[in-house]
């Protein structure tokens, strides 16, 4: 079994060798001469050979000490560099924060929260992964993002989830469409109408498909896009209608569009926070998340869950 390195002994040895004095070395290290002598005796016992010639007036190196000194200096220098580098990396990590966020939230909700956060933390760099729900989960799981603001669909053993708000899906149509004057529309009434659907990569699409089941096969999805904002723009141009969570309409300003509640069934999504199971958030991430919860949209648009 190999011996444990005696770093304190090496530090004491180098300090004495460079100053040729126990007294000066003890002052440099901030310890007593008794403690210094103890370290040297322990080091010499460790290596099994005398390293210093000591008299009442002088201190000199033995041949073994002369051989050890350059290597001891290298070891101590490398250790100092390693600790300095770790300190620098820790400081950089403390000044950086990465989170995941659904694109629609990143457009209309997150900016005002980050504005307040960065006023309180002007030296912090925030990276936002404005990805799909599935991509956000992967970012958090791999540690690329400390937490993610996303739609909560399925539970995973390696992630913790915290529901924050719920919002219903609505039909988006032009203000000259007959549906725009109704108080609500059923899914059955949408059969045969040209609809614009969102990519299968989004949690919205999965939730709608699961909720409708076989009834969804009667719908006419004439177009498919990757993002909610694109779907809404196509509706504005008269391509068709689309179905989106009510809150996402805050991200798009289209004066000719109307949102109509959907029923039979009414579909609701839950938005919340995902974090890695068993991994506590950094102080910066905790501060930002607390700010996000405090700035959640009003209950008129969405229902808070806390």
Find out whether 196 and 242 touch, Cβ atoms under 8 Å: yes
Q: Which residue from 29, 63, 35 is spatially nearest to 49, judged by alpha carbons?
A: 63
Find out whether 284 and 94 touch, Cβ atoms under 8 Å: yes
What does the pLDDT read at residue 249?
74
Find out whether 195 and 262 touch, Cβ atoms under 8 Å: no
Flag whether 200 is in a domain.
yes
What does the pLDDT read at residue 132?
84
| Residue 206 confidence (pLDDT) above 80 | no
Residues 72 and 106 both lie in one domain: no
* DSSP assignment letter at 74: H
Q: Which residue has the tokens 């899914």?
A: 187
Residues 193 and 262 both lie in one domain: yes
Residues 143 and 63 both lie in one domain: no
E strand or H helix that includes residue 2: none
| Residue 306 confidence (pLDDT) above 50 | no
Q: Which of 39, 61, 92 is the last residue of a domain?
A: 92
| Residue 300 confidence (pLDDT) above 80 | no
Find out whether 209 and 201 touch, Cβ atoms under 8 Å: no
* DSSP assignment letter at 219: S
Flag whether 304 is in a domain.
no
**The tokens of 216 are what?**
């969804």
> How does pLDDT run across 90-135, given as a tens digit for each residue?
655 557 899 999 888 888 789 989 999 999 998 899 999 998 888 9
Residues 80 and 63 both lie in one domain: yes
> How does pLDDT run across 256-294, given as a tens digit for each residue?
899 999 999 999 988 999 999 989 999 999 999 999 999
Residue 58's domain is classified under what CATH number? 1.10.10.10
Flag whether 185 is in a domain.
yes
Whole domain around residue 237: which residue ranges?
165-268
Mean pLDDT of 40-63: 89
Residue 179's domain is classified under what CATH number? 3.40.190.290
User: 45 φ, ψ to 5°?
Assistant: -70, -35
Q: Which of 92, 124, 144 is the last residue of a domain?
A: 92
Flag whether 305 is in a domain.
no
What does the pLDDT read at residue 1?
47
DSSP states of 248-297 as a string?
A: GGGG---TTEEEEEEESS--EEEEEEEEETT-PPPHHHHHHHHHHHHTPP
Residues 73 and 121 both lie in one domain: no
Q: Which of 45, 73, 92 is the last residue of a domain?
A: 92
Find out whether 167 and 161 touch, Cβ atoms under 8 Å: no
Residues 289 and 256 both lie in one domain: no
Number of domains the chain is built from: 3
Q: What percentage of the chain exceeds 70 in pLDDT?
A: 90
Mean per-residue pLDDT of the chain: 86
* SS3 sequence of 179-208: HHHCCCEECHHHCCCEEEEECCCCHHHHHH
Burial of 264 (0-12, 13-18, 19+ CB in 10 A): exposed
Measured CA to CA, the distance from residue 61 to residue 78 in angstroms comes to: 23
Mean pLDDT of 35-62: 89
Residue 143's domain is classified under what CATH number? 3.40.190.10
Residues 74 and 123 both lie in one domain: no
Residues 237 and 256 both lie in one domain: yes
Residues 74 and 132 both lie in one domain: no
Find out whether 43 and 7 touch, Cβ atoms under 8 Å: no
Residues 181 and 245 both lie in one domain: yes
What does the pLDDT read at residue 201?
58
What does the pLDDT read at residue 3?
65
Find out whether 257 and 232 touch, Cβ atoms under 8 Å: yes
Flag whether 211 is in a domain.
yes
Q: Which residues pair with 261 in a beta bridge?
A: 170
Question: pTM value?
Answer: 0.61
Out of 36-40, 145-149, 150-154, 277-281, pick the least confident: 150-154
Residues 11 and 76 both lie in one domain: yes
Residues 137 and 215 both lie in one domain: no
Output the CA torsion 198→201→207→213 (10° steps).
Answer: 80
């Amino acid at each position: 079994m190999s011996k444990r390195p005696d770093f304190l002994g090496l530090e004491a040895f180098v300090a004495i060798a460079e100053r040729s004095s126990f007294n000066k070395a003890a002052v440099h290290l901030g310890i007593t001469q008794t403690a210094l002598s103890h370290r040297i005796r322990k080091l010499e016992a460790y290596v099994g050979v005398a390293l210093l010639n000591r008299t009442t007036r002088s201190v000199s190196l033995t041949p073994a000490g002369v051989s050890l000194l350059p290597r001891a200096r290298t070891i101590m220098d490398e250790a100092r560099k390693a600790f300095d580098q770790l300190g620098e990396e820790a400081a950089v990590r403390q000044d950086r924060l990465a989170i995941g966020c659904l694109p629609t939230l990143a457009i209309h909700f997150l900016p005002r929260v980050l504005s307040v956060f960065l006023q309180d933390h002007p030296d912090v760099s925030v990276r936002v992964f404005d990805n799909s729900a599935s991509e956000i989960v992967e970012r958090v799981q791999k540690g690329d993002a400390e937490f993610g603001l996303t739609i909560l669909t399925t539970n995973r053993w390696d992630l913790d989830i915290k529901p924050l708000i719920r919002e219903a899906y609505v039909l988006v149509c032009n203000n000259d469409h007959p549906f725009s004057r109704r108080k609500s529309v059923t899914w059955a009434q949408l059969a045969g109408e040209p609809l614009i659907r969102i990519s299968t990569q989004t949690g919205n699409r999965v939730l709608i498909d699961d909720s409708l089941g076989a009834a969804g096969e009667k719908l006419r999805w004439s177009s498919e896009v990757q993002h909610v904002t694109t779907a809404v723009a196509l509706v504005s141009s008269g391509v068709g209608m689309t179905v989106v969570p009510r809150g996402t309409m805050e991200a798009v300003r289209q004066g000719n569009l109307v949102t109509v509640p959907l029923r039979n069934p009414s579909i609701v999504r839950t938005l919340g926070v995902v974090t890695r199971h068993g991994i506590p958030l950094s102080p910066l991430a905790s501060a930002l998340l607390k700010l996000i919860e405090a700035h959640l949209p009003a209950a008129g648009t969405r229902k808070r869950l806390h």
